[in-house]
Amino acid sequence: MRHRHGFNALSRRSGQRKALKRGMVTSLFRYERIETTKAKAKEVQRMAEKMITRAKIDSVHNRRMIARDITNKAVLAKLFTDIAPLFEDRNGGYTRIIKTGHRQGDAAEMAILELVVKTDKPKKKAQAKKETKKEEPKKEEAKKVEKEEKVEE
**H or E element: which one contains 99?**
strand 95-102
Contacts 24+ apart (CB under 8 A), 93-98: 93/49, 94/48, 94/49, 94/52, 94/53, 95/28, 95/45, 95/48, 95/49, 97/38, 97/41, 97/42, 97/45
Q: Is residue 126 part of a domain?
A: no
Tell if the pTM clears 0.85, that is, is over it: no
Domain span at 19: 14-115
Q: Is residue 134 part of a domain?
A: no
Q: Is residue 132 part of a domain?
A: no
Q: Is residue 133 part of a domain?
A: no
Domain count, the chain: 1
The whole-angstrom separation of Cα 34 and Cα 71 is 16
Q: Is residue 5 part of a domain?
A: no
Q: Is residue 52 part of a domain?
A: yes
Q: Provide the percentage of residues in the chain whose pLDDT is more than 70.
A: 81
Write out pLDDT tens, residues 3-30: 878 888 999 999 999 999 999 999 999 9
Beta-strand pair 33-37/109-115 = antiparallel
Q: Is residue 53 part of a domain?
A: yes
The CATH number assigned to the domain holding 28 equals: 3.90.1030.10
- Per-residue pLDDT, averaged over 31-35, amounts to 97
Q: Is residue 42 part of a domain?
A: yes
Band of residue 2 on the pLDDT scale cut at 50, 70, 90:
confident
